[in-house]
C-alpha cells in the first residue's frame, strides 16, 4: 500500500543521515539509481516492505539475504521486469538519474536498454553467438551497417572476456557453449546495448567454481564502466566482488553499507547472525 507521507523527492536523499536501516548513501556524487519506500505486492502478499536504497556508478552493490527475502524481487523492480507478472504491484519511487522509472512517460523498452539484466540461469537465445550479441543492437537500431554491428559484437565479447574463446565460431549456436561461457555471452549481450546499469540475479548460481571465478573477474573489470547490482546468496562472493552490500531479510532492508563494514562490523544483530551463518 502506498503511503504518501513516506514519499520523498530523490534529491532529498543527499540530506538523509539515517543510513543504518535505509540504503541511502551520504557521500560521493549523485547516485545512479535511487529507490524510496518501495513496496512490492504479489496479489495480497507483500514481498518487499519499505525499501530505500541508492546505487552508485563507481561501486558494485551486492544484495544478500536468505532465500525468499525479496532481494531478487527488488532487483527486478529496477528494470521493471516485474511488469511481466500480472499480479505484481510496485509502489514507491525508483529513479534512474533522477527520472522516475515508473512514471507514465517512461518507456519501459528504453529503460531496459539503459538497465540491463543477467539472469540466474544462462539464457542465450537459440541463435548463433553473433546473433545473440547483435540482438539488442538490432532491435534498438544501434548499428547502421554490417561493419558497425561487427564492431559492437567484437567489443562486447571482448569486454565480456569471451572473444578469444569464440572468435572463430561466431556462427555456432549460443546454446552449444558451456554454462560459464553462456553466462558470459549473456553479459556480453547485455553490454552490447551500452547500458548504464547492469543487474545480475545470482549470475553464478548455476555455474561451477572455475566459471564463477571468471564471472567474478569480469565483474571487477566492468566496475566503473557500469553501475552493477548483483544478487547473490554466496556471502564470500558478495565480499569478493562488491564495495557496497545490502542485507535483506523478510522483504525489508536490514542493513546497507560498505561491504567491509557489513562483513567485519555489522551494526545489526540480524546481519551478524546471517554473516556468521546462524541462519539463512
Partner 1 sequence: MTGATLLFLIIGLGLVAWFFGRLKAAGMQSGGKHSRSALHSLPNYHGWYVALWAILPAAIFLAVWSFASPALITDAALTSPAAAQLPQDAFARAAILSEARAIASGNQVNAFNPLSQSMVEPYRDAIAYYQMIGAVAALLMVFACGVYAWLQIKPDLRARTKIERVTMLVLLLASLIAIVTTVGIFLSLVFETARFFSMVSPIDFLFGTEWNPKAVAGPRGETGFGAIPLFWGTVFIGAIIAMIVAIPLGLMSAIYLTQYAPAKFRSWMKPILEVLAGVPTVVYGYFAALTVAPALRDFAVSIGISNASSESALAAGAVMGIMIIPFVSSMADDSIAAVPSAMRDGSLAMGATQSETIKKVLIPAALPGVVGGVLLAVSRAIGETMIVVMAAGLAANMTANPFSSVTTVTTQIVQLLTGDQEFDSPKTLAAFALGLVLFIVTLLLNLIALRVVKKYREAYE
Q: Which residues bind partner 1 (CB under 8 A)?
A: 79, 81, 84, 86, 109-113, 116-117, 119, 121, 123-127, 135-136, 139-140, 175, 186, 189-190, 193
Backbone angles phi, psi at 94, to 5 degrees: -125, 130
Q: In the complex, what is the shortest distance from the CB of residue 262 to partner 1, in angstroms, rounded to a whole number?
A: 28
Q: In the complex, what is the shortest distance from the CB of residue 255 to partner 1, in angstroms, rounded to a whole number?
A: 28
For partner 1, which is the closer residue by CB, 53 or 190? 190
Q: In the complex, what is the shortest distance from the CB of residue 7 to partner 1, in angstroms, rounded to a whole number?
A: 27
Q: In the complex, what is the shortest distance from the CB of residue 181 to partner 1, in angstroms, rounded to a whole number?
A: 16
Contact between 122 and 206 under an 8 Å Cβ cutoff? The reply is: yes
Residue 82: name the closest of 100, 97, 102, 62 by CA.
Answer: 102
Q: In the complex, what is the shortest distance from the CB of residue 137 to partner 1, in angstroms, rounded to a whole number?
A: 10
* Other Cβ atoms within 10 Å of 155 Cβ, number: 16
Query: Which residues make Cβ contacts (< 8 Å) with residue 276, sequence separation at least 6?
Result: none
Q: Report residue 169 as a C-alpha cell.
A: 565460431
Q: In the complex, what is the shortest distance from the CB of residue 121 to partner 1, in angstroms, rounded to a whole number?
A: 6
CA distance 189 to 66: 29
For partner 1, which is the closer residue by CB, 196 or 273? 196
For partner 1, which is the closer residue by CB, 74 or 247? 74
For partner 1, which is the closer residue by CB, 24 or 200? 200
For partner 1, which is the closer residue by CB, 24 or 133? 133
For partner 1, which is the closer residue by CB, 175 or 252? 175
Buried b (16+ CB within 10 A) or exposed e, 212-224: bebbbebbeebbe
Q: In the complex, what is the shortest distance from the CB of residue 133 to partner 1, in angstroms, rounded to a whole number?
A: 11
Q: DSSP string of 119-131?
A: -SS----SSBHHH
Backbone angles phi, psi at 5, to 5 degrees: -65, -25
For partner 1, which is the closer residue by CB, 158 or 175? 175
Contact between 211 and 190 under an 8 Å Cβ cutoff? The reply is: no
Q: In the complex, what is the shortest distance from the CB of residue 126 to partner 1, in angstroms, rounded to a whole number?
A: 5
For partner 1, which is the closer residue by CB, 121 or 267? 121
CA distance 102 to 89: 11
Q: What letter does residue 85 receive in the DSSP assignment?
A: S
Contact between 110 and 78 under an 8 Å Cβ cutoff? The reply is: no
Backbone angles phi, psi at 248, to 5 degrees: -105, 145
Amino acid at each position: 500500500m502506498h503511503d504518501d507521507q513516506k514519499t520523498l523527492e530523490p534529491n532529498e536523499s543527499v540530506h538523509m543521515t539515517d543510513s543504518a536501516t535505509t540504503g541511502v548513501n551520504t557521500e560521493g556524487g549523485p547516485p545512479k539509481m535511487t529507490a524510496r519506500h518501495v513496496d512490492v505486492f504479489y496479489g495480497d502478499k507483500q514481498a518487499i516492505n519499505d525499501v530505500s536504497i541508492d546505487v552508485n556508478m563507481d561501486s558494485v552493490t551486492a544484495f544478500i539475504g536468505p532465500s525468499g527475502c525479496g532481494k531478487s524481487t527488488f532487483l527486478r523492480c529496477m528494470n521493471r521486469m516485474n511488469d511481466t507478472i500480472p499480479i505484481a504491484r510496485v509502489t514507491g519511487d525508483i529513479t534512474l538519474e533522477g527520472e522516475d522509472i515508473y512514471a507514465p512517460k517512461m518507456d519501459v523498452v528504453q529503460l531496459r536498454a539503459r538497465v540491463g539484466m543477467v539472469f540466474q540461469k544462462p539464457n542465450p537465445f537459440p541463435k548463433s553467438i553473433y546473433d545473440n550479441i547483435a540482438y539488442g543492437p538490432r532491435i534498438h537500431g544501434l548499428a547502421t551497417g554490417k561493419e558497425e554491428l561487427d564492431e559492437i559484437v567484437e567489443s562486447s565479447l571482448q569486454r565480456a572476456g569471451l572473444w578469444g574463446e569464440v572468435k572463430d565460431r561466431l556462427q555456432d549456436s549460443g546454446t552449444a557453449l558451456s554454462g560459464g561461457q553462456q553466462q558470459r555471452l549473456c553479459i556480453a549481450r547485455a553490454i552490447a546495448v551500452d547500458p548504464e546499469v547492469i543487474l545480475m540475479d545470482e549470475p553464478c548460481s548455476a555455474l561451477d567454481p572455475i566459471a564463477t571465478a571468471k564471472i567474478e573477474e569480469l565483474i571487477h573489470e566492468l566496475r566503473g564502466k557500469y553501475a552493477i547490482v548483483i544478487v547473490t546468496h554466496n556471502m564470500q562472493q558478495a565480499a569478493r566482488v562488491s564495495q557496497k552490500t545490502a542485507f535483506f531479510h523478510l522483504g525489508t532492508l536490514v542493513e546497507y553499507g560498505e561491504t567491509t563494514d557489513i562483513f567485519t562490523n555489522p551494526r545489526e544483530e540480524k546481519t551478524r547472525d546471517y554473516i556468521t551463518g546462524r541462519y539463512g
